[in-house]
Structure 1
Amino acid sequence: MGEFIMPDWLKNQDAETIHRRMMARLPPDIDDTEGGFPWDFTKPTALEKAELLQFHLVETLKIMFPEWSYGEYLDLHAKRVALERRAAGYAYAELEIEGIAGTVIPAGFAFAVPSVNSQPAIEFRTMEAAEIAEDGKAAVGVLAVLPGTSGNVPADAIVLMVSPMRGITAIKNPEKASGGTEEESDDSLRARIMEIEQGLDTGFVGCDADYIRWSKEVPGVGTSFVIANWDPAVKNSVKLVVLDSNGEPANDHILELVYNHIMSPEDRLNRKAPIGAILTVVAPTMKGIAYSFSASLVDGYDAATVADSISKAIQEYYIKAKSEGLVQYIHIHAIITQAPGIYDFTRLTMNGGIENIAIALDEYPGTISVDLGIPREVVG
């Protein structure tokens, strides 16, 4: 988004300038000295007019265009092109439950991550009923009760029943919960609006851009890309590769939501994909990259904060890197050079080398670590 530049006709409209013009237009025989009745009566008007011109009118101009609009006004621009802001997504996990064979775990039964210190317990509820099998085990999918990233808990964190149930003896989530995302930001929604407007009359229904746009209408989806005709044995085969809004491979729950949103298998009238298209929705194979260098920091910055800032900037670059099929060493070097808190650095390596890293068709780059060569608790 480009910076909003105030029109020339709105410049020099501060209260002092406006009031001077008002005083200059008084008849010659009227007292215009400060503190006189005309001066005192006109000053509040100048203040109100300046506020109207310099703030309210400027904000009105900004919300008229999606490039500078925000909040509920940006939602209205999205509605104009049949988009909605993505709601916050719910974290998903698969539980392994042990207990007495035949025990039925009903849909909506609550499990939780224990409360720690002042942090409240994080609850999850089963998506469907499950029964413990003869081997004393059951697997069931659970969704966080509250949306957002707080539900993205690590493996083996969901270990409690909110209400005790006879027949259950052990609970665990072997893999971390994922897919919990915050409500879509203005910048993300703005980018999707601009994508649609820039793509008008430049493609056909069911082109790659459509599949990407459709996938991003699903809560929790961040980045996606298309591999057309990926299966030579299947005519019109389309593979949609999806990451969540946290930059991680989308979990099975999100993948199913995307497939159902595009293909609508239960209601063909709402199907978005063209007739004959065979869609497969998958998570990418992540190409893990570890970054290492020796940094000197600006006074007042700590290694943890700087590393997190670099990680976020690299994550944003990955979208471009994927489109080019290459994570460029020189681009990573530039990101680190421009990072807040970096005074100087040497010996940058990516996975131990200084070569560009190729990204295969169904891969997506992911950051394993960012090592500044400084203990993360050291400051300055």
Structure 2
Amino acid sequence: MTYENILNDMLSRVPSNVDKREGSIIYDALAPVAFKLAEMYFQLQNFLDLVSGDTAVGEYLDRVVADYGITRKPATKAVRKIVTSGPVDIGTRWGIEGTTYVITEKISDTEYKAECEQYGSIGNHYSGQLDNIDNISGVTAVLADIIVSGEDEETDDNLRARFFSQVRSASTSGNIYDYKKWALEVPGCGGAKVFPLWNGPGTVKVLVVDENMEIDPDLPATVYDHIEAVRPIGASVTVESPQEKVINISADVYLDGSDTLENVQVKFAALIAEYLKSLTFEVYTVSYAKIGSLLLSVPGVADYSNLLVNGGNENIAIGEEEMPILGTVTLTEVL
């Protein structure tokens, strides 16, 4: 119901012997009402979107999924190793690139655990010489290994996918869907695949990846601990990361002159990386034709030839316990 449609409908109900032209008394009286009614219709449509699981966003999506016992996974703080030139007190603070870390535990005289004071993956990003926030004299410190990765708050897309997975799948007494649901409840887990009876009766294997559909070496242990805390008695559970299936691509390309080969290669690699992520735990074939279509979709590419995927010109099969990852992308310009 647009403003114009509402106004025209209202004017059509006014007797024909009344001046209804723009600027007339009746026109000027009805126009603001039509505008407010159109605005209300828009708000009503927006309201419907905010209470449906497929279109709700933010806090409204939180309220939709809460009815099914699902909550958004919160952001967590990174725990890092700090290496110092001498002993420091627990509770001292250090900073680097706008992030700050507080010493929480002593590992040795010169090694400490420190928690990032900022939530999310930003605590994983930096390493190097730290600034001395508490003005401790005679001691320097370096931010080193990640002990526990910080995770960003769960995105709407991941929460929605988890919601649909639960409401569309029968989950009862420790079946496949239960194990998948339990794995996806863990902060940082973005995908899971369950293999029942993988090593005989009473055994279950769960493969997990992070929310970027990448392998996180620390994630399986965290998922295992959570599953052990909630699963029924009796099963022997193994949680692992999938094996990586490297996909290497090469091709000769004909450019249209609107972009450089270097830029084309970067854009093409980004498209392929996203495509491969979309296949994880869902599709077990890397399509040769799809890769060709993605190459043609890159701005600057007029055509291509000699496209090779892992040295061949056919689809690549992905094993049940594998995930495809991008290896090398080599494009050669044909003049």
Counterparts in 2 of 1:370 and 1:125: CA distance versus 1, 3 Å: farther
Counterpart-to-counterpart distance in 1, 2:224 and 2:136 = 35
**For residues 107-256 of structure 1, what are the structure 2 equivalents within 5 Å?**
110=93, 114=96, 120-125=97-102, 128-132=105-109, 143-153=115-125, 157-160=127-130, 162=132, 171=142, 173=144, 179-199=149-169, 202-232=170-200, 236-252=202-218, 254-256=219-221
State the shift of 1:97 in Å: 4.1
Counterpart-to-counterpart distance in 2, 1:105 and 1:239 = 43
Instruction: Name the % identity.
Output: 30
Q: Which range moves more in the overlay, 308-317 or 158-167?
A: 158-167
Q: Which residue of 1 aligns with 2:272?
A: 310
State the shift of 1:336 in Å: 3.5
Q: Report if aligned partners of 2:82, 2:114 keep a CA contact under 8 Å in 1.
A: no
SS in 2 for 1:27: coil
State the shift of 1:198 in Å: 1.3
**For residues 356-371 of structure 1, what are the structure 2 equivalents within 5 Å?**
356-371=315-330
Structure 2: segments with no counterpart, 5+ residues: none
Counterpart-to-counterpart distance in 1, 2:332 and 2:190 = 31
State the shift of 1:36 in Å: 1.8
Q: Which residue of 2 aligns with 1:378?
A: none
State the shift of 1:210 in Å: 1.8
Counterpart-to-counterpart distance in 1, 2:181 and 2:225 = 14
Deviations, residues 237-287 of structure 1 (Å, cap 9, x unaligned): 2222221112221232x43432333222xxxxxx2x112122233333323
**For residues 364-379 of structure 1, what are the structure 2 equivalents within 5 Å?**
364-373=323-332
For the pair 1:344 / 2:303, whether they are aligned, the reply is yes
Counterpart-to-counterpart distance in 2, 1:341 and 1:124 = 45
Structure 1: segments with no counterpart, 5+ residues: 1-12, 115-119, 265-270, 375-380
Q: 1:289 aligns with which of 247, 263, 280?
A: 247
Aligned-CA RMSD value: 3.4
| TM-score calculated relative to the size of structure 1 | 0.72
Counterpart-to-counterpart distance in 1, 2:140 and 2:22 = 84
State the shift of 1:334 in Å: 3.8
Kindly tell me the number of residue pairs found equivalent between the two proteins: 328
Q: Which residue of 1 aligns with 2:7?
A: 19
Q: 2:223 aligns with which of 258, 262, 266?
A: 258
Paired amino acid for 2:157: D
| TM-score calculated relative to the size of structure 2 | 0.80
SS in 2 for 1:32: coil
For the pair 1:72 / 2:59, whether they are aligned, the reply is yes
Paired amino acid for 2:325: G
